[in-house]
Amino acid sequence: MTKLRQALAIVDWSGWLGAAIVVAMVGAAVLAPWIAPFDPVAVNIEDRLTAPDAVHWLGTDQAGRDVFSRILFGARASLAVGIGAVLIGGLIGVSAGIFAAYKGGLAELAVMRVVDAVASIPLLVWAIAIVGVLGVGPVQVGPLSLPNEVKIVVLVGCLFSPVFARVTHAVARRVVSADFVKARWLQGAGHWAIVTGDVLPNCLSPIIVQATLLVAIGIVVEASVSFVGLGVQPPAASWGTMLSDARNAIYSGEWWLPVFPGLAISITVVGFNLLGDAVRDLFDPRSEARTLVA
């Protein structure tokens, strides 16, 4: 416990700010049904386009829906896509990177060239193209009906995987050549035991850092895809669709419609980036002073 406290002592204010933003956003997403003052999809024509006031803190939109409630519910879509895509991309990319580094030789060459090929695909364009081709309706996989969001998550996850693969490969190569891995091999330890017990745990810190940064990118991708109408489908709330709906308001003066969803995206992205930087510092306790003395 004291060790944890010592480690946390090096996190500066920006790291704590990032952590606070991330916790707040995740909290908002999870608790949205309980803390949202209004139903996010309830249409109320009488109250349409009211400016922020004591009742509707962030105003209402063209259909009289409460902007604050919609932002809270929108956080669900944003975070689900960001985190879901990172989990899928991480699973694929980390496995590929570790496999390549551990196996070496031609297998390594082959895997990493495939990774390069996937990485050369322009991420956003493909996400839009594929959803465009498949349509925005639910996809039937056997007995399961997958909503459009799942498509986005899987797609973005696949497109994130090369990033994870490269980061993991770079660290894992170093770890695999360490003497403690050789020692395990000399003892006749199984490959699975070596990979999960010795290689992976020593690769985790850059992977976690990468993950927090990619969650932020995932949120932007979700907003972009929803903005062009291929993501979360109306009337459900998403920061991207809210921005899309607010396009006309920019000219007609209802400033709160584009500003608040935009702010939600920016603050969340900044939050994850700050958290990522702090996590990197946390996992890298080798200060220069220590190496000097050694």
Partner 1 sequence: MTAPLIDIQDLRVGFRAGGRRMVEAVRGISLAVRPGEAVGIVGESGSGKSLGMLAVMRLLAGGARITGGRILFDGEDLAAAPERRMAALRGRDIAMVFQDPQSSLNPALSIGRQIVDVVVAHQAVSRGRAAEIAVDALERVGIRDASARLGAYPHEFSGGMRQRVLIAMAIACRPRLLIADEPTTALDVTVQAQIVDLIAELRRDLGLAVLFISHNLQLVAEIVDRVVVLYGGKLVEDADVFAIEDSPRHPYTRLLKACVPSLTAPPGPLFAIDGAPPRLGAMPPGCPFAPRCPRALPRCAAEMPPLTVEDGRRLACWNPQ
Partner 2 sequence: MSAPILSLSGVTKSYPRGGMLGSVFGARAPVLALDDVSLDVMAGDVVGIVGESGSGKSTLAQLAVGLTRPTAGTIRLGGEDLGLLMRDHAGPWRRRIQMAFQDSSSALNPRKSIGRCLEETLVLAGVDKAARPAEAAALLGRVGLGAEMLPRLPHELSGGQRQRVGLARALAMKPDVLIADEPVSALDVSLQAQVINLLGRLTGELGLTLLFISHDLALVRALCRRVIVMRKGRIVEEGPCLQVLESPRDDYTRLLLSAVPKGIEGRRRPPARTSNPEFPRP
Q: Measured between alpha carbons, how far is 239 from 216 in angstroms, rounded to an integer?
A: 13
292 is a contact residue toward partner 2 (CB under 8 A): no
148: which residues sit within 8 A by CB, 6+ positions away? 131, 136, 137, 138, 230, 231, 232, 233
294 is a contact residue toward partner 1 (CB under 8 A): yes
Q: Which is nearer to partner 1, 5 or 251 (CB)?
A: 5
Q: Of 259, 242, 248, 246, which is closest to residue 77 (Cα–Cα)?
A: 242
Please, what is the minimum distance in Å from the beta carbon of residue 204 to partner 1?
20
Residue 201's binding partner, choosing from partner 2, partner 1, none, with beta-carbon cut-off 5 to 8 A by kind?
partner 2
Q: What's the alpha-carbon Rg for the chain, to the nearest Å? A: 23
**Vertex 278 angle, CA 273 and 282, to 5°:** 145
The site map against partner 1 for 272-291 (x = CB under 8 A) is -------------x-xxxxx
Q: How far is CA 214 from CA 38, 105, 139, in A?
A: 32, 30, 26
The site map against partner 1 for 1-40 (x = CB under 8 A) is -----x--xx------------------------------
Q: Which is nearer to partner 2, 53 or 284 (CB)?
A: 284
2 is a contact residue toward partner 2 (CB under 8 A): no
Q: Measured between alpha carbons, how far is 244 from 233 in angstroms, rounded to an integer?
A: 12
Please, what is the minimum distance in Å from the beta carbon of residue 182 to partner 2?
6
Contact residues toward partner 2 (CB under 8 A) are: 105-106, 109, 178-180, 182-190, 197-198, 201-202
Contact residues toward partner 1 (CB under 8 A) are: 6, 9-10, 285, 287-294
